[in-house]
Structure 1
């Protein structure tokens, strides 16, 4: 108990930039929980709905809905993963089922104060607000002038950190083998959560990034409607760029090079905040933006298995020049590619081409001649599992 209180004290002493975060100890408090009526497990499936205590909202207690499941017949302490959905999503039962089948205990929560509209059985399912839920994602920008504890990101981040504390209290869970994966807005929330909560063993973040005020789909929409001081406040309070420099958790970042919401310049700036030894990157050409299966590239499961189940680590780019990369690949490479575009300007409208690159397996170097018309380019290496590691984007000077 003394160690736990000391842990909470250390986090309570850390304030958000600007010192505006309410009592941080509340984020890490052990939440109460109870079964969610009407969301019981069915058949031989071990996944069931629960409610756990969220953070107070406008002076009232809140509850967070989540699917919780463990592999059938599992013995011994289990690895666990927390699943954080993206915008328009909810707690997805089908996503929880996917990870239970991979051998993990799973907690997949609804971060928008609701419950699944259609039992979370498809990526198109949405959230119905619950009377005891907190604020919804639709208020993510409009409430920026309110106290932090009345804003959606605070409650979403709290739901992730409290989920970690809750899982660590379950006797079937190994508290040293808990990770988190987030998709889109779930990744924005997750990147901040793991920067605050170093108890996580790994984090896999798909699409979502920081520097949203610099370049994102919201720069010319939501941010354009806000006074500059509120834009600055939102970035200071909730943008992952305000936190990731202090990250101590290994993070995998996945994205598509033409993603319309999270642009590659902002995405790479986000990745660079994390220490190189903790950072893995996978940047695809022609990657859709959606919940699983699109939002569950093969790197995520491989990264999780390497962190908590003794699996082989992902490949990694160690260093690079404009015409080459040096790599490390615990699983042999299947191929290497140079991805390039002849377009400039808006990242979302650029057309990318893929050409083979040369692999020197003895020196662990990948090289390619850069097409004269290329305006920007980067290398991908792909191992025999189909897992990608990406170099940084180079641009013609």
Structure 2
């Protein structure tokens, strides 16, 4: 990704905005066509149209994914281009001015009007709720940029089919070491065996339970929780409660009442981790 640069990383005359934080946030009072998100979203949609125009491409089996800022863009594009067979944002989410790595450094420099304008135009929460394709969410518990509270609110907006793989302390980067990325894609693009789906957990009498829809054998189940505030997302410690797997069900001790966020993670025979939705308290 040359970000509008050519040979020797020199700016091209028609290269569009760069990818600095200033290009993404500080241009909010400029015309729309000068702003990074405008160009980035338009480029994804135009690239998709170009891809579908090729004779060797099955337009019904094109997926959308991106990592970090690419995950941010995936959340937006999923809501405005319904031609994709599935969408898979990795790390990215919305509600960035409420809690994210940019809350203080970027939104803190804006006036209230500028913050409202950026949120209205460019926050993924304004778009992802319109997604019609299945959306698969991948993130780590301690991501430095996209914290669990903002992430959970973003996931809740999706009304189409959705699934989750929230992983304990997953690194942030362009990583392809985890099988879930490919298994989610294969499910919708190649007709692969579906990933398990974990139902919303239920707490009753100090116990937690959930059911799992799965065509693969379930190997283990764990409940992960933290009691630290969401503002400490990157550094806060998580604790784990082992759950008992019984066929397509998992149960065990409930998280403490002071937990600020928790979820259940299931591992199947392919060593893939599938999660319940995040429960934010």
How high is the TM-score relative to the length of structure 2?
0.90
Structure 1 residues 274 and 298 mapped into 2: Cα distance closer, same or farther (>3 Å)?
same
Write the distance in 2 (CA, Å) between the matches of 1:174 and 1:378: 37
Measure how far apart 1:246 and its partner are.
1.1
Q: In structure 2, what is the equivalent of residue 298 of structure 1?
A: 179
From 72, 78, 81, the counterpart of 1:188:
72
Give runs of aligned pairs for residues 155-174 of structure 1, distance below 5 A: 155-174=39-58
Judge conservation of contact 1:337–1:381 (CA < 8 Å) in 2.
yes
Give runs of aligned pairs for residues 353-372 of structure 1, distance below 5 A: 353-361=239-247, 364-370=248-254, 372=256
Is 1:334 aligned to 2:210, yes or no?
A: no
Judge conservation of contact 2:223–2:242 (CA < 8 Å) in 1.
yes
Q: In structure 2, what is the equivalent of residue 113 of structure 1?
A: 4
Gaps of 5+ in 2: none
**RCO higher in structure (CA 8 A, sep ≥6):** 2
Measure how far apart 1:347 and its partner are.
2.2
Q: Deviations over 1:209-232 (max 9, x none)?
A: 001011101111100001011111
Q: In structure 2, what is the equivalent of residue 132 of structure 1?
A: 14
The DSSP-based 3-state class of the residue aligned with 2:200 is strand
Give runs of aligned pairs for residues 90-105 of structure 1, distance below 5 A: 90=1
Write the distance in 2 (CA, Å) between the matches of 1:116 and 1:373: 57
Is 1:380 aligned to 2:265, yes or no?
A: yes
Q: Deviations over 1:307-354 (max 9, x none)?
A: 111101111122321312221122221211111224345222211123
Q: In structure 2, what is the equivalent of residue 250 of structure 1?
A: 134
Judge conservation of contact 2:241–2:253 (CA < 8 Å) in 1.
no
From 132, 135, 150, the counterpart of 1:266:
150
Write the distance in 2 (CA, Å) between the matches of 1:325 and 1:389: 13
Measure how far apart 1:135 and its partner are.
0.6
From 224, 229, 246, the counterpart of 2:108:
224
Measure how far apart 1:355 and its partner are.
3.4
How high is the TM-score relative to the length of structure 1?
0.65
Write the distance in 1 (CA, Å) between the matches of 2:122 and 2:6: 24
Write the distance in 2 (CA, Å) between the matches of 1:394 and 1:192: 23
**Bigger Rg, structure 1 or 2:** 1
The DSSP-based 3-state class of the residue aligned with 1:331 is coil
Judge conservation of contact 2:225–2:263 (CA < 8 Å) in 1.
yes
Judge conservation of contact 2:141–2:169 (CA < 8 Å) in 1.
yes
Q: Deviations over 1:10-50 (max 9, x none)?
A: xxxxxxxxxxxxxxxxxxxxxxxxxxxxxxxxxxxxxxxxx
Structure 1 stretch displaced more, 185-194 or 386-395? 386-395
Judge conservation of contact 1:245–1:274 (CA < 8 Å) in 2.
yes
Q: In structure 2, what is the equivalent of residue 389 of structure 1?
A: 274
Q: In structure 2, what is the equivalent of residue 280 of structure 1?
A: 163
Give runs of aligned pairs for residues 315-326 of structure 1, distance below 5 A: 315-322=196-203, 323-326=208-211
Write the distance in 2 (CA, Å) between the matches of 1:128 and 1:353: 48
Write the distance in 1 (CA, Å) between the matches of 2:79 and 2:278: 25
Structure 1 residues 224 and 328 mapped into 2: Cα distance closer, same or farther (>3 Å)?
same
Q: In structure 2, what is the equivalent of residue 311 of structure 1?
A: 192
Gaps of 5+ in 1: 1-89, 91-109, 118-126
Give runs of aligned pairs for residues 79-90 of structure 1, distance below 5 A: 90=1
The DSSP-based 3-state class of the residue aligned with 1:354 is strand
Structure 1 stretch displaced more, 323-332 or 282-291? 323-332
Judge conservation of contact 1:319–1:327 (CA < 8 Å) in 2.
no
Q: Deviations over 1:93-131 (max 9, x none)?
A: xxxxxxxxxxxxxxxxx5x323597xxxxxxxxx76444
